[in-house]
Structure 1
Amino acid sequence: MKRRTFGALAAAALAAGVAVPALAQETLTIGAVAPKTGPLAGGAAVTYWPNVQLWAHDVNARGGLQVGDAQYMVEVIEYDDQTNPGETIKAVQRLVSQDEADIVLPPYSTGLNLAAAPIYNRFGLPMVTATATTDQADQLSQQFPNVFFTLGGAQAIVESTVVAMDALRDEGVIGNKLAMVNVADAFGIELMNQAGPAFEAAGYDIVYETSYPLGTQDLSPVMKGAKAAGPDAFIAWSYPPDTFALTEQAIVEGLEVGAFFTAVGTAFPAYQARFGDDAEGVLGIGGVHADGEAFQEYAARHEEVTGAKPDYWASAMVYSSFQVLEEAIREVGSLDNPAIIEFIKGHAFDTVIGVLDFNENNNNTAFWTVGQWQDGVFKGVASTGREGAVPVLAGPDWN
């Protein structure tokens, strides 16, 4: 567990070569814990950490976080949990007990959020997750009433993926033969468990099915096995390292499918940068209203402040979850966590991703589910109530 302290105002001044004066007002300490090392570090480096930086920058640029009649500048204490749930829990404990953080942001990924939920509940911390995808949301929020879910559940994502495949099948782009694989952690297992029965019920024949451990370096055997089965479509419930590796192996093997779907990481700008024209037509989890004014303004500010582009799915949701927390604190007028939690439960929030309205602590009415690379942009093709979806197209041609 490694600590790094980041003051957004000080960092901006130092980057500009300006001396940093003593602040004339008090500061609040924001705690953040997520991978900087380990298998999920790459994903967190795209989706999570830049938005922590951006939000802290935006808060300080507005003169600070409004709490009652006062405004407070913020500084961030960052911990690397090394993609290890035990380290996540220890970091949260340290942030509360030793660092005396005023606000503790949720961690990154489904597995780490689910592992950390009990410790956030123990300390009574509001936990507005933005990178957890689970159908256990209703059960978990009953057990832990301080926990909120924004990104949607496995069932809706699977149902939308089936619909997208059905559209391609109806057009004659694909047949019924499907290869499907998953990363063997909470995220991949839950989606695979939902997807198998759903695709079989829709008349698909799963001709190849396997899982692989998180952090697997060589996925060529997986892709060789998939190709040998002769599928019409390929689906992977994957995390960023394997999303990239599976795509690379599919291109190397010359996988001939009418639809190619990978999960987390497909929406990363680095995916298109890595694969270029070969990314065209690739389907993936998530999406955004890429042509919408709100996302474009957010994306421009994200790149200006952090030097990197946001992804086309969870990046904006991470920032939106911070907006929810900020507005709740401002409206409550204090850092009283029970009051903040109750406020979030009873209100809707305008964010860069659109309106977030929690029902049973779960934003289960409007979120993106499936996207596709089209003309160099990962555009949303399916959602549960968001505007801006575009029609799904045939998959990539790697031959």
Structure 2
Amino acid sequence: MTAFRKLTVGLAGLAACAITAPVSAADDAQFDGTITLGAAISLTGKYSTNGGHTKNGYDMAVDRINSMGGVEVGDKTYKLEVTYYDDESTPARGAQLAERLIQQDGVKFVLGPYSSGMTKAIAPVTEQYGVPMVEANGASRSLFTQGYEYLFAVLSTSEQYLASAVQLRAELAEKDGMDPSEMTIAGVFENDPFSQDIRAGVIADAEEHGMELVVDDKLPPEINDMSSTLIKVKAKSPDMMVVSGHSKGAALAIRQMSEMRVDVPMLAMTHCDSAQIIQKFGDKAEYTLCASQWAPSLTYSDDYFGSASDFAADFEARYDYAPPYQSAESAAAVLVYKDAFERAGSLDKKAVRDALQATDLMTFYGPVNFDDTGKNTAKPMVLYQVQDGEYKVVAPTEYASAEVRYPMPKWSER
């Protein structure tokens, strides 16, 4: 039988993960001074990089809340902890572990995994048992068409990810005296639920402006090479290229475009920061446009982390790297749970679920307000650009901290 690795962290600001024995459902620590949140996340496998970012965000928020007095529910005060299992980036394992958390460990409140595919595997389990799940890293719009009543997402959904990039391409065309309908797009999308939802959003946004997708390629989940797609891009000379393939796809695109000298006026991608394109590729990453759920330069703030820039500084001091948005949104998910517990005045699952539905909260990550499907409809996406080795917000205009640099110079001119 495959062994399950269980990690429980958060009490007393533990800096290291402790290996623990399984907890009986009858031994309910939630009513003995501790609220236990359960999470099956990717500590190994293809999503392990972003799984690590997710865990770091959860841990940082748990420790911050505990250090500031914990959670007040009625006349009692509780500390938070998180019980983790490694889902190995495998949906079937994620569903199995979600059931283990609920049925064997007695967890009544779940934090989401990393990725839409993993969230889709777990959501039916939490729904079956009436266990709330606040998730921060499953953006697929199809998650919110299933009628789930116990699923809540703090992030913007996937069809919005590259909308600002298409809009920016239209605005720049008009600035150059051209009609946006003259613009062409090359699209490269991993064949997974998240990236295919992004593709649907790009197609809808392109159609709105009359733009044509001259390359529309699906790449396998194990993305190791996109050279054949890049040959097509060279041949079609599109006005913009968009890429969605998680952190592995982002890194691969930068590396192979530089090696093959593929020139495009605009390049927009997802997962730039989690792929660490600046750190790994230096000047080769310059001019890349990056879809983001969050940026440290935004003016959001709360009582726990202060401003977005305060969170970024604290995160970097703790983990020795700048926070990707996956960590920021994960920390926000814990803040949402804390707020719901206190407003519910109870640790009853249904009462907490109802409190989550009524959430109207400002965090360092942005506003959180869930619609009837569990989507956060209050927070917009942003688009930043790599400029002189830093991420600068360039769209939407009202959130911009810098002017977009356009067009990307040809590789022969760099």
Among 95, 99, 117, the residue aligned to 2:105: 99
Task: Please name the residue that 2:304 is paired with.
Answer: none
Give the letter for the 1:234 counterpart.
M
Task: Please name the residue that 1:151 is paired with.
Answer: 155
CA displacement 1:312-360 (0-9 Å, x = unmatched)? x333222111101111112222211111111122230121112212222
- Give yes or no for the alignment of 1:254 onto 2:261: yes
**Closer, same or farther in 2 for the Cα pair 1:88/1:274, shift >3 Å?**
same
**Closer, same or farther in 2 for the Cα pair 1:133/1:75, shift >3 Å?**
closer
Structure 2: gaps spanning 5 or more residues: 18-31, 300-306
Q: CA deviation at 1:126?
A: 1.6
Q: CA deviation at 1:272?
A: 1.2
Among 331, 341, 355, the residue aligned to 2:367: 355
Q: CA deviation at 1:180?
A: 0.9
**Contact 1:267–1:287 (CA under 8 A) maintained in structure 2:** no
**Contact 1:137–1:153 (CA under 8 A) maintained in structure 2:** no
Q: Distance in 1 between matches of 2:333 and 2:165?
A: 25
Task: Please name the residue that 1:284 is paired with.
Answer: 290
**Contact 1:287–1:372 (CA under 8 A) maintained in structure 2:** no
Q: Distance in 1 between matches of 2:113 and 2:389?
A: 30
Q: CA deviation at 1:139?
A: 2.3
- Give yes or no for the alignment of 1:381 onto 2:394: yes
**Contact 2:162–2:268 (CA under 8 A) maintained in structure 1:** no
What SS does the aligned partner of 2:217 have? Answer: strand
Task: Please name the residue that 1:121 is paired with.
Answer: 127
Counterparts of 1:147-226 in structure 2, within 5 Å, are: 147-172=151-176, 176-226=183-233
Structure 1: gaps spanning 5 or more residues: 16-24
Q: CA deviation at 1:394?
A: 1.4
**Closer, same or farther in 2 for the Cα pair 1:80/1:90, shift >3 Å?**
same
Task: Please name the residue that 2:88 is paired with.
Answer: 82
Give the letter for the 2:392 counterpart.
K
Identity fraction in percent: 24
Q: CA deviation at 1:283?
A: 0.9
Q: CA deviation at 1:44?
A: 1.9
Q: CA deviation at 1:195?
A: 1.9
Task: Please name the residue that 1:37 is paired with.
Answer: 44
CA displacement 1:243-294 (0-9 Å, x = unmatched)? 101111011111111101111x213372211122222221122253432461
**Contact 1:287–1:380 (CA under 8 A) maintained in structure 2:** no
**Closer, same or farther in 2 for the Cα pair 1:208/1:7, shift >3 Å?**
closer
**Contact 2:295–2:308 (CA under 8 A) maintained in structure 1:** yes
**Contact 1:282–1:395 (CA under 8 A) maintained in structure 2:** no
Task: Please name the residue that 1:338 is paired with.
Answer: 350
Task: Please name the residue that 2:24 is paired with.
Answer: none
Task: Please name the residue that 1:56 is paired with.
Answer: 62
What SS does the aligned partner of 1:378 have? Answer: strand
RMSD across aligned positions (CA): 2.6
Q: Distance in 1 between matches of 2:55 and 2:331?
A: 10
Q: Distance in 2 between matches of 1:13 and 1:36?
A: 17
**Closer, same or farther in 2 for the Cα pair 1:71/1:388, shift >3 Å?**
farther
Give the letter for the 1:332 counterpart.
A
Among 261, 270, 280, the residue aligned to 1:274: 280
Q: CA deviation at 1:132?
A: 2.0
Q: CA deviation at 1:14?
A: 7.0
Q: Distance in 1 between matches of 2:81 and 2:379?
A: 32
**Contact 1:348–1:355 (CA under 8 A) maintained in structure 2:** yes
Task: Please name the residue that 1:367 is paired with.
Answer: 380
TM-score by length of 2: 0.84
**Contact 1:287–1:371 (CA under 8 A) maintained in structure 2:** no
Q: Distance in 2 between matches of 1:13 and 1:160?
A: 39
Give the letter for the 1:370 counterpart.
L
**Closer, same or farther in 2 for the Cα pair 1:354/1:85, shift >3 Å?**
same
**Contact 1:289–1:388 (CA under 8 A) maintained in structure 2:** no
Give the letter for the 2:161 counterpart.
I
Mean Cα deviation higher: 4-13 or 152-161: 4-13
Give the letter for the 1:32 counterpart.
A
**Contact 2:186–2:242 (CA under 8 A) maintained in structure 1:** yes
CA displacement 1:159-179 (0-9 Å, x = unmatched)? 322211112323449962321
Give the letter for the 2:383 counterpart.
V
**Closer, same or farther in 2 for the Cα pair 1:2/1:339, shift >3 Å?**
same
Task: Please name the residue that 2:309 is paired with.
Answer: 296
Task: Please name the residue that 2:340 is paired with.
Answer: 328
